[in-house]
A and B are shown apart, each in its own frame.
Chain A
Amino acid sequence: DADVTQTPRNRITKTGKRIMLECSQTKGHDRMYWYRQDPGLGLRLIYYSFDVKDINKGEISDGYSVSRQAQAKFSLSLESAIPNQTALYFCATSSSSGAREQYFGPGTRLTVT
Protein backbone atom coordinates (compact mmCIF):
# COMPACT_ATOMS: atom_id res chain seq x y z
CA ASP A 1 0.00 0.00 0.00
CA ALA A 2 1.16 3.50 -0.81
CA ASP A 3 2.48 5.57 2.09
CA VAL A 4 0.82 8.77 0.86
CA THR A 5 -2.55 8.56 -0.83
CA GLN A 6 -4.68 11.21 -2.46
CA THR A 7 -8.34 11.19 -3.43
CA PRO A 8 -9.70 11.77 -5.96
CA ARG A 9 -7.02 11.10 -8.57
CA ASN A 10 -8.86 12.99 -11.26
CA ARG A 11 -11.65 15.51 -11.01
CA ILE A 12 -13.50 17.73 -13.41
CA THR A 13 -15.62 20.43 -11.87
CA LYS A 14 -17.37 23.62 -12.88
CA THR A 15 -16.49 27.20 -12.04
CA GLY A 16 -17.92 28.24 -8.67
CA LYS A 17 -18.16 24.75 -7.20
CA ARG A 18 -16.60 23.85 -3.89
CA ILE A 19 -14.20 20.94 -4.04
CA MET A 20 -12.09 19.09 -1.50
CA LEU A 21 -8.95 17.10 -2.16
CA GLU A 22 -7.93 14.65 0.52
CA CYS A 23 -4.56 13.32 1.58
CA SER A 24 -3.70 10.52 3.98
CA GLN A 25 -0.33 9.19 5.06
CA THR A 26 0.88 6.15 6.94
CA LYS A 27 4.48 7.29 7.40
CA GLY A 28 3.85 8.78 10.82
CA HIS A 29 5.26 12.13 9.72
CA ASP A 30 4.35 15.35 11.49
CA ARG A 31 4.72 17.59 8.47
CA MET A 32 2.36 17.70 5.52
CA TYR A 33 2.23 19.93 2.44
CA TRP A 34 0.04 20.79 -0.51
CA TYR A 35 1.62 21.81 -3.82
CA ARG A 36 0.33 22.58 -7.25
CA GLN A 37 2.24 21.97 -10.45
CA ASP A 38 1.62 23.81 -13.68
CA PRO A 39 3.41 23.11 -16.97
CA GLY A 40 6.81 24.82 -17.10
CA LEU A 41 6.71 25.78 -13.44
CA GLY A 42 8.11 24.06 -10.40
CA LEU A 43 6.07 22.73 -7.53
CA ARG A 44 4.52 25.72 -5.79
CA LEU A 45 3.57 25.49 -2.15
CA ILE A 46 -0.05 26.23 -1.27
CA TYR A 47 -0.19 25.38 2.45
CA TYR A 48 1.84 23.40 4.94
CA SER A 49 1.30 22.02 8.41
CA PHE A 50 3.91 21.05 10.98
CA ASP A 51 1.41 19.34 13.24
CA VAL A 52 -2.32 19.15 13.84
CA LYS A 53 -2.50 22.59 15.43
CA ASP A 54 -0.10 24.29 13.04
CA ILE A 55 -1.25 25.53 9.62
CA ASN A 56 0.77 27.93 7.47
CA LYS A 57 0.22 29.66 4.17
CA GLY A 58 2.59 28.93 1.33
CA GLU A 59 3.40 31.14 -1.61
CA ILE A 60 0.05 30.74 -3.43
CA SER A 61 -2.62 30.24 -0.78
CA ASP A 62 -5.25 32.65 -2.15
CA GLY A 63 -8.41 30.79 -3.16
CA TYR A 64 -7.51 27.72 -1.08
CA SER A 65 -8.06 26.56 2.48
CA VAL A 66 -6.87 23.49 4.36
CA SER A 67 -7.80 21.34 7.31
CA ARG A 68 -5.52 19.05 9.30
CA GLN A 69 -8.05 16.64 10.74
CA ALA A 70 -5.46 14.34 12.28
CA GLN A 71 -1.75 13.74 12.08
CA ALA A 72 -2.35 11.46 9.12
CA LYS A 73 -4.88 13.59 7.21
CA PHE A 74 -4.55 16.92 5.47
CA SER A 75 -7.25 18.14 3.10
CA LEU A 76 -7.23 21.00 0.62
CA SER A 77 -10.40 22.90 -0.31
CA LEU A 78 -11.21 25.20 -3.16
CA GLU A 79 -14.15 27.20 -1.88
CA SER A 80 -15.21 28.46 -5.29
CA ALA A 81 -13.20 26.87 -8.06
CA ILE A 82 -11.99 28.96 -10.99
CA PRO A 83 -10.43 27.83 -14.28
CA ASN A 84 -6.91 29.01 -13.40
CA GLN A 85 -6.94 26.50 -10.54
CA THR A 86 -6.76 23.76 -13.16
CA ALA A 87 -3.51 21.99 -12.27
CA LEU A 88 -1.90 18.88 -10.87
CA TYR A 89 -2.03 18.89 -7.07
CA PHE A 90 0.39 16.98 -4.88
CA CYS A 91 0.31 16.23 -1.20
CA ALA A 92 3.62 15.49 0.50
CA THR A 93 4.88 14.58 3.96
CA SER A 94 8.21 14.81 5.72
CA SER A 95 9.73 14.04 9.04
CA SER A 96 10.58 16.92 11.37
CA SER A 97 14.14 15.61 11.76
CA GLY A 98 16.91 14.09 9.69
CA ALA A 99 17.17 14.62 5.94
CA ARG A 100 13.55 15.80 5.75
CA GLU A 101 13.10 14.64 2.18
CA GLN A 102 9.51 14.86 1.12
CA TYR A 103 7.38 11.89 0.20
CA PHE A 104 4.75 12.65 -2.39
CA GLY A 105 1.32 11.29 -3.08
CA PRO A 106 0.31 10.23 -6.60
CA GLY A 107 -1.25 13.59 -7.42
CA THR A 108 -4.75 14.79 -8.23
CA ARG A 109 -5.43 16.18 -11.67
CA LEU A 110 -8.07 18.88 -11.30
CA THR A 111 -9.82 20.53 -14.22
CA VAL A 112 -12.10 23.50 -13.67
CA THR A 113 -14.33 24.29 -16.64
Chain B
Amino acid sequence: ILNVEQSPQSLHVQEGDSTNFTCSFPSSNFYALHWYRWETAKSPEALFVMTLNGDEKKKGRISATLNTKEGYSYLYIKGSQPEDSATYLCAFRGTGGFKTIFGAGTRLFVKA
Protein backbone atom coordinates (compact mmCIF):
# COMPACT_ATOMS: atom_id res chain seq x y z
CA ILE B 1 0.00 0.00 0.00
CA LEU B 2 1.44 3.35 -1.02
CA ASN B 3 1.42 5.96 1.71
CA VAL B 4 1.83 9.71 1.51
CA GLU B 5 2.22 11.40 4.88
CA GLN B 6 2.16 15.10 5.61
CA SER B 7 3.28 16.78 8.79
CA PRO B 8 2.31 18.60 10.78
CA GLN B 9 -1.43 18.11 10.42
CA SER B 10 -1.98 21.78 11.30
CA LEU B 11 0.14 24.77 12.05
CA HIS B 12 -0.61 28.16 13.63
CA VAL B 13 1.85 30.99 12.98
CA GLN B 14 1.97 34.74 13.32
CA GLU B 15 2.08 37.07 10.33
CA GLY B 16 5.69 37.48 9.27
CA ASP B 17 6.83 34.08 10.53
CA SER B 18 8.51 31.73 8.11
CA THR B 19 7.31 28.16 8.17
CA ASN B 20 7.83 24.82 6.54
CA PHE B 21 6.13 21.48 6.37
CA THR B 22 6.90 18.03 5.08
CA CYS B 23 5.53 15.50 2.63
CA SER B 24 6.86 11.93 2.85
CA PHE B 25 6.29 9.49 0.03
CA PRO B 26 7.57 6.15 -1.29
CA SER B 27 11.18 6.39 -2.43
CA SER B 28 10.72 3.77 -5.15
CA ASN B 29 8.92 4.03 -8.49
CA PHE B 30 8.86 7.82 -8.27
CA TYR B 31 7.53 9.82 -11.21
CA ALA B 32 6.42 13.22 -9.87
CA LEU B 33 5.44 15.08 -6.74
CA HIS B 34 2.73 17.75 -6.84
CA TRP B 35 1.94 20.45 -4.31
CA TYR B 36 -1.53 22.00 -4.20
CA ARG B 37 -2.93 24.92 -2.26
CA TRP B 38 -6.50 24.57 -1.03
CA GLU B 39 -8.25 27.58 0.42
CA THR B 40 -11.40 27.15 2.48
CA ALA B 41 -14.56 27.01 0.36
CA LYS B 42 -12.51 26.75 -2.84
CA SER B 43 -10.97 23.87 -4.79
CA PRO B 44 -7.34 22.75 -4.69
CA GLU B 45 -5.05 24.62 -7.09
CA ALA B 46 -1.70 23.39 -8.36
CA LEU B 47 1.38 25.11 -6.91
CA PHE B 48 4.31 23.03 -8.10
CA VAL B 49 5.13 19.84 -9.91
CA MET B 50 8.55 18.37 -9.21
CA THR B 51 10.15 15.50 -11.03
CA LEU B 52 13.91 15.44 -10.44
CA ASN B 53 15.82 14.66 -7.28
CA GLY B 54 17.17 17.94 -5.94
CA ASP B 55 14.50 20.01 -7.71
CA GLU B 56 13.74 23.36 -6.14
CA LYS B 57 10.73 25.37 -7.23
CA LYS B 58 9.72 28.87 -6.19
CA LYS B 59 6.61 31.01 -6.60
CA GLY B 60 6.77 34.31 -4.77
CA ARG B 61 7.31 33.63 -1.06
CA ILE B 62 6.60 29.90 -1.42
CA SER B 63 9.25 27.39 -2.38
CA ALA B 64 9.61 23.62 -2.38
CA THR B 65 12.43 21.10 -2.45
CA LEU B 66 12.48 17.46 -3.43
CA ASN B 67 14.52 14.46 -2.29
CA THR B 68 13.40 11.37 -4.19
CA LYS B 69 16.11 9.09 -2.76
CA GLU B 70 14.84 9.46 0.78
CA GLY B 71 11.25 10.19 -0.19
CA TYR B 72 10.45 13.65 1.10
CA SER B 73 9.60 17.15 -0.04
CA TYR B 74 9.57 20.35 1.98
CA LEU B 75 7.32 23.33 1.36
CA TYR B 76 8.58 26.66 2.72
CA ILE B 77 6.68 29.89 3.16
CA LYS B 78 8.77 32.97 3.89
CA GLY B 79 7.15 35.81 5.83
CA SER B 80 3.70 34.22 6.14
CA GLN B 81 0.70 36.44 5.46
CA PRO B 82 -2.93 35.87 6.48
CA GLU B 83 -3.79 35.15 2.85
CA ASP B 84 -1.43 32.15 2.99
CA SER B 85 -3.91 30.47 5.32
CA ALA B 86 -4.97 27.31 3.50
CA THR B 87 -4.48 23.57 3.40
CA TYR B 88 -1.38 22.49 1.49
CA LEU B 89 -1.70 19.10 -0.17
CA CYS B 90 1.04 17.01 -1.69
CA ALA B 91 0.38 14.25 -4.20
CA PHE B 92 2.75 11.47 -5.22
CA ARG B 93 2.61 10.09 -8.71
CA GLY B 94 4.33 6.76 -9.33
CA THR B 95 5.59 5.09 -12.46
CA GLY B 96 3.86 2.27 -14.25
CA GLY B 97 0.56 3.92 -14.85
CA PHE B 98 -1.71 6.54 -13.44
CA LYS B 99 -1.52 6.16 -9.68
CA THR B 100 -1.61 9.51 -7.85
CA ILE B 101 -1.90 9.42 -4.08
CA PHE B 102 -2.79 12.52 -2.06
CA GLY B 103 -1.62 13.24 1.45
CA ALA B 104 -4.10 14.44 4.07
CA GLY B 105 -2.69 17.96 3.94
CA THR B 106 -1.19 20.49 6.33
CA ARG B 107 -3.67 23.11 7.48
CA LEU B 108 -1.90 26.47 7.91
CA PHE B 109 -3.43 29.31 9.94
CA VAL B 110 -1.66 32.69 9.78
CA LYS B 111 -2.76 35.19 12.39
CA ALA B 112 -2.49 38.90 11.66
Q: Which residues of A contact B (CB under 8 A)?
A: 4, 31, 35, 40-45, 48, 50, 56, 90, 99-107
Contacts and interface: CB of A to CB of B under 8 A. Distances in A.
Interface in B54-112: 89, 91, 93, 98, 100-105
Given A99-B32, A101-B49, A106 B102 contact: no
> Which of B44, B93, B101, B104 counts the most chain A CB atoms within 10 A?
B44
B102 A42 contact: yes
13 contacts: A4-B43, A35-B102, A40-B9, A41-B104, A42-B4, A42-B101, A43-B44, A90-B44, A99-B32, A100-B49, A102-B34, A102-B91, A106-B42
Interface string B12-49: 00000000000000000000101010000011111001
Interface residues of B, number: 21
A42 B42 contact: no
Interface of B: 4, 9, 32, 34, 36, 42-46, 49, 89, 91, 93, 98, 100-105
Nearest to A35: B102
A90 B43 contact: yes
B13 to A, nearest CB: 21
> Which of B45, B46, B103 counts the most chain A CB atoms within 10 A?
B46
